[in-house]
Structure 1
Amino acid sequence: MKRLSVCLIVKDEEELLPRCLDSVKNIADEIIIVDTGSTDRTKEIASFYTDLIFDYQWTNDFAAARNVSLQHATSKWILVMDADEYIAVDEHSQWNLFLDNEQPLGYLAYTLPVVNFTGDKEYQDEISTSPVTRLFPNFMGIYFERPIHEQLTRGAQGELYHKRIDLIIYHTGYQDQRVNEKNKHERNMQIFNDMKNNSQMSDYDWFTLGNQYRYVQDELQALECYEKAIEGTSATLAWYPHCLVGLIILNYKQDRLAESWKWTEYKLSEFPEYSEYYAIKGIHFETLGFYVEAAEQYRKAVEVAEARAAKRQEIWLVDPMYSFEMPVQQLVNVSFKINDNQQAIYWLSKLLNKNTRNPRVLLKLVEWLNHNEQPESIIHFLDQIYDKSNKSEADLLYKVSLGLGRKELVDYYEPHIDQENLLIEDHLRLGIVRHNHDTWLKYSGMIIGEDDKDIEQFWIQIAVGSLLWKDNSILRVAINSRRTEDEFKGLLSLIASIPSEGTGREALLTEYADDIFLIAKQLFILKQYDCFDQFIQATKTPKLVNQLANYFYGLNQVETAMSYYSVLLSQQQLDEVSLENLGFYHANHGYSTETVEFLEEAVRLQPKARHLYHTLIQHTSNDCKANFIEKFITEFPQFSSISFLNNYFQHEKKI
């Protein structure tokens, strides 16, 4: 007997069908295609893989179409897939081991984790998982029911049991581009509306309808559906934790923290062996400014995941994000918030070791190191993680070093890169980093000559070079070029006018404050300190000084940051972010009077900044605690039922 039949229903899938069929052709004994009305090359492509292609007139019923495909299967096992799914070829040995050794039982089907890529691009880190029963024995009366998000059943033969296994299917069908191309939402909603009109909606159907709304970002409708689905539903059902976590996250995103905390404590707490419980608790603590408690929960999430991995158990309950990436990223943020820079860098390093190709993490880590360590130490650190003889890794490190303007790192990695991969903008940046005026002139002119060069960073580099060499020739060309967007012409005109003053200059400095900050930041990281000081004096506004102070503070350049903060404080020009940073800095160093001074003013300016109150109440005098607690309750009456918040308030009132 044949071992495996792979069954698909398809319509207009010429784009993704080859990937799907290529991924299963070496483990499938037969591939069965049921086409529901394709008008593209779907059937032609399928014919390269199988002769078992059958036409079926679509009736708005997925189960009916699936069952047609099952009728043609002749193998021992049946695997059901969609055209936008695939199996990793390097995991075929695991599939073969299971199919060869598992004994088929008529009452047992197998639930597999489907890894969903839900972003605009497949390579983005927007990933979720869902359990779907797709593998089952043939010739034992198992078939599909329900018109959408169809489910397997044995009908009158009795209950069909589901066993979770670790064989993985990868899915990209709900990426935004695919939803738009195929109008899946409209098609699915038509089926759901028919079911609602006929009173056919089960708890599971409400859950899947919630998923449908969530994929199209209609979160209020999704929330309503999840609430209907979970009411009275058994926690033992495979889809229950997915519905529960979805319900919690949507409540949280709608700022219904009391609801999201209630579901976390009363229901998600039934799954303490998984990371999701601790990571989501950490989110709530962090949101309300309980940073020490948040860090504790995030660490617990990582520990639980690592313990399960060591035992070769399934690591996550709903989403792999909660087992490592999310809690570790939050540990980075919380550690910086409480000025524990050593811990922040430790967790950043953990993130980078987990995914060395993540440019955002690498850039953040190296930028911090760039301002706090010598080049030799940075190189030694990176050599422990990366292999510079690997071209792709060397290219990544080179681009990051170039962006951060660290000449020593650029020189170290340059011999290991493929020079042909450098873009015009890389050469432009290289001219600035190496202080080569001729290179900067050459590639600035080339960028201005290209029609599509309207990205802000290109013009920032042109402005930086103009300031370094006091050369406005390129600025004048760019200002007069029809290819230069008007917004950049205004910025470049402002830079070209330095150091002169003129009417309306203050308004331009305010309009372009963010761009001016980026230029100033570049001058600083290039260690062009004289030029940096001159530029700041010529473009100084309260907004710019606040931005610089907060930038230096975030990089642990506390002495420099404090010099800017002092100027702002003397002129009463500290903005909300500066006040917050100063408040937490003094809190972390045990200066309660200063903590209260800065955070009280921050709360006055932004009373809805809910994360500030905990630290403010903690450090204020006993006589004032009740006043700030009352202010919080007045601003956030909807949070009054959050247990850990109430416990904290009660404790502080007793002091």
Structure 2
Amino acid sequence: MQPLISLCMIVKNEEKVLEQCLSSVQELADEIIIIDTGSTDGTKEIALKYTEQVFDFQWINDFSAARNEGINKATGKWILILDADEYVKQDEVDSLRNMLNLTETDKPVGIVVDVMNLTGNSLTSTTGFYQSSGTRIFTNGHGIHYENKIHEQVICQDIMAQFKVSFTVFHSGYVTQIAEEKKKSDRNMEIFNELKKTGKKSGPYEDFTIANELAAARKLKESVYYYSKCIKRSKITDPWYSHCCYRLIIIFKILKRYNEAYAYIEKGLQLWGQYTDFHYLKGAVLNEFGMYEQAVKAFETCLAIAEENGKQNKQFWLIDTDTCRLFPFISLAEIAYMRKDIGKTVFFLTKVLQENSKSFIHLYRLTRLLLQSEPPDEISRLLEQIYPQNQPFNCYIVFKVFLELGHELLASKYLDNCKALNLSMEANDMVRYALLTRNEKIASEWLEKLPSNSDSMYSNALIAALASKNPSWIYQYVKDSSQPYYDIGQYVICILEQNQVEQYAGNHQDQLYALIVDLFKLGYFEEFDQLMNLVENEALLNKVADFFYEENLLEIAIQYYSALINQEALSAAGYMNVANLYLSQNEEEEGLMFMQKSIDMDPAIDRIPYLISLLSDTELISAYQDKFADLHAGYNQLPFIKNLNA
């Protein structure tokens, strides 16, 4: 009996992702064809667990040639194409097989499916995905094959009927860790450069793929050229057209070419305003210009579209699912915190974590605020709604955040949960926990397990030395004179041995800052004060003051800010923080005064529009409008700036 579905894949060194792919298709594919183009890791061994049809193929910088090799070996009625870094979900398998069984294969048919491209730093910390689509299933035979050496396309000699089905492929290849390990951009650009030498004409889709590779390689100006070229040569209905517009906006924003970014935002809203993507980008640009009220409205529009379309089971994003809720919630949380509206900040951070529970930084920010207002039992109850403690990752991330915050009671509770699930703990975490619980013996045991000559070993040894008032920790662990922590270690030795100590004027201010902050978080307040009393670097003092402001420890922050103001050493960012603090307490006169001081020092593009939106004095408004026009003349034609100046 002829197989229904033949899965055809090309692979090379895919041992980290192949198992997930093949295990996901066991109930879907009747036949699996693996074309290996030169693996040197365990890829073949994994493949052979699922199929005997694993074939070697000499790589010739031609994806189509490798694809066609697999198709030629397939015997199924239908061909399914997947890459090793893709997988499918089981809940759609039966419906797809039933549909294919009922579809005639006597004529060429291509089936388009959704592809969800995961984004984030690693497979364990994905943040969301953006959507694309492609012909991944087609009838076997009828001359259907692949063409193009890279970003290969399905080609049929006859007219091929195409339709879309409800089936999703998940793709992890653009997760940062995977892309970097596989060096996709280098490989792909090598093939593109070969194609250029042939003189073969390319179409708009090739422009799009070249632009993507250049953008991935951070060659942003070059990518703009190819995205723009693609748009000029494409129709609005082409599936890549909206992606070009979306990516151009992001790149223009990075390059601070806001006029061009906003022009594409307006175009995107005109064409695809029923989706969230371009509303979010509008809010992001307004946010960068300090137009916070308008930015909030744009982000709220995203949430409203998602809610309304969700009720009707309609799609509410066009390209990136994170523009529906995650990104707007993050931005709304940041604006609320800037305004020191802690209630709203907590609300929006909770929403962020409901969308992406793996975001450590937002969990940290939420728990940091909760610890200042809620009892530990209530915090645990709230968190366990998002992080059920029967899952290892949840136990670990919650333990990690309370460890970072230096909360001994809750760190101990969640460490016990980790141990109950037999999780292996990282040495760096256990050293920190030993220092938090004042257990020098355990700290010493775990320090030995840290990588030698690592920053974590040096910084923890310095904390241990200060905490125990014993310089032997430094003599044992911080003895490499070429390392930044060495100078700080020698300085700490002088403090501990009560030698003549002058104010620290060393070059390694970042490392000293990290040490100072860790001492405070771990509750070593005497040692913290000991170091701070010897710091004279104004930039470092400003950085510490900003740390307390960000931690919402406002009384301490104000003490440092006041001292810096008296020394005429407060930074522009510090003045802005003081301004926002006064404004949050409805002390408008003082807030505006400090904001003007910040602008006098650094008239950044977000500060002047923000100030103008708050002023009522027409003369001052006019003066700052002129100031913005002089300093940022290139942005005067942006619609929201023109309205601000009206």
TM-score scaled by structure 1? 0.86
Matches within 5 A, 1:433-512: 433-434=436-437, 436=438, 439-440=439-440, 442-446=441-445, 449=448, 452-479=451-478, 481=479, 486-498=483-495, 502=500, 505-508=503-506, 511-512=507-508
User: What CA distance in whole angstroms lies between the structure 2 residues aligned with 1:449 and 1:432?
Assistant: 14
Question: 2:185, 2:279 → 1: CA distance?
Answer: 38
The one-character-per-residue Cα deviations of 1:354-382 (angstroms, maximum 9, x if unpaired) are 33343332222212222343333323322
Shift of the 208–541 alpha-carbon distance from structure 1 to 2, 3 Å rule, reads: closer
Contact 1:110 1:135 in 2 (8 A): yes
Matches within 5 A, 1:353-368: 353-368=354-369
Deviation at 1:119, TM superposition (A): 6.1
Deviations 1:137-190 (A, max 9, x none): 345564444443233344453x75452634224242783334438952244214
Q: 1:11/1:515 Cα in 2 relative to 1: closer, same or farther (>3 Å)?
A: closer
Counterpart position of 2:150: 148
Asked if the contact 1:352–1:361 (Cα under 8 Å) also holds between the matched residues in 2, the reply is: yes
* 1:615 maps to 2:610: yes
Q: Which residue of 1 aligns with 2:388?
A: 387
Counterpart secondary structure, 2:533 = helix
Work out the CA distance in 1 between the residues paired with 2:415 and 2:59. Answer: 58
| In structure 2, C-alpha distance between the alignment counterparts of 1:173 and 1:488, rounded to whole Å | 36
Deviation at 1:633, TM superposition (A): 2.4
Residue aligned with 2:28, SS = coil
8 Å Cα contact 1:207-1:229 kept in structure 2: yes
Q: Is the 8 A contact 2:495 2:501 kept in 1?
A: no
Structure 1 residue 279: deviation in Å? 0.9
- Secondary structure class of the residue paired with 2:495: coil
Q: C-alpha distance in 1, partners of 2:442/2:464?
A: 11
Paired with 1:428 and 1:305, the residues of 2 have a C-alpha distance of: 44
Q: 3-state DSSP class of the match of 1:318?
A: coil
Partner of 1:575: 571
Match of 1:241 in 2: 242
- State which drifts further: 242-251 or 355-364: 355-364
Distance in 2, Cα, partners of 1:81 & 1:101:
22
- Partners of 1:393 and 1:55 in 2: CA distance: 42
SS at match of 1:384: helix
Describe the shift of the 1:392–1:429 C-alpha distance in structure 2 as closer, same or farther (beyond 3 A): same
Structure 2 length normalisation: TM-score?
A: 0.87
326-335 vs 541-550, which deviates more? 541-550
Are the equivalent residues in 2 in contact too, given 1:444–1:474 (CA < 8 A)? no
**Matches of 1:118 and 1:34, distance apart in 2:** 27
1:628 maps to what in 2?
A: 624
In structure 2, the residue matched to 1:302 is 303
Gaps of 5+ in 2: none
How many equivalent residue pairs?
638
Deviation (angstroms), 1:17: 5.1
Q: Distance in 1 between matches of 2:344 and 2:49?
A: 55
- Which residue of 2 is the match for residue 431 of structure 1? 434
Give the secondary-structure state (helix, strand or coil) at the position aligned to 2:116.
Answer: strand
Work out the CA distance in 2 between the residues paired with 1:379 and 1:274.
Answer: 37
Task: Map Cα deviations across residues 608-653 of structure 1 (whole Å, 9 max, x no partner).
Answer: x211111222344311323322222232222233111211111xxx
Retained in 2: the 8 A contact 1:226–1:247?
A: yes
- 2:136 pairs, out of 134, 137, 161, with 134
Closer, same or farther: CA 238–105 of 1 in aligned 2, 3 Å: farther
Question: What do residues 487-524 of structure 1 show as CA deviations (whole Å, max 9, x unaligned)?
Answer: 2221122223238575764413xx34444444443444
CA contact (8 A) 2:78 2:139 kept: yes
Aligned AA (2:486): K
Alpha-carbon shift at residue 288 of structure 1 (Å): 0.5
**Residue 167 of structure 1: SS of its match in structure 2?**
strand
- Provide the identity percentage: 26
8 Å contact kept, 1:5–1:77? yes
Q: Give the deviation of 1:564 after TM superposition.
A: 2.5
Q: Could you say which residue in structure 2 is the equivalent of 1:189? A: 192
Aligned to 1:653: none
Q: RMSD value over aligned CA atoms? A: 3.5
Contact 2:582–2:590 under 8 Å retained in 1: yes
Further displaced range: 218-227 or 388-397: 388-397
Q: CA deviation at 1:41?
A: 8.1
Contact 2:113 / 2:134 at 8 angstroms: preserved in 1? yes
**Change beyond 3 A, Cα 1:315–1:137:** farther
Secondary structure of the 2:168 match is coil
Q: Could you tell me which amino acid in structure 2 is paired with residue 85 of structure 1?
A: E
CA drift of 1:256 comes to 0.7
- Distance in 1 of aligned mates of 2:597 and 2:339: 19
State how 1:323-402 maps to structure 2 within 5 Å: 323-402=324-403
Moved more, 494-503 or 295-304: 494-503
Which AA in structure 1 matches 2:606?
A: H
Name the SS for the 1:387 alignment partner.
coil
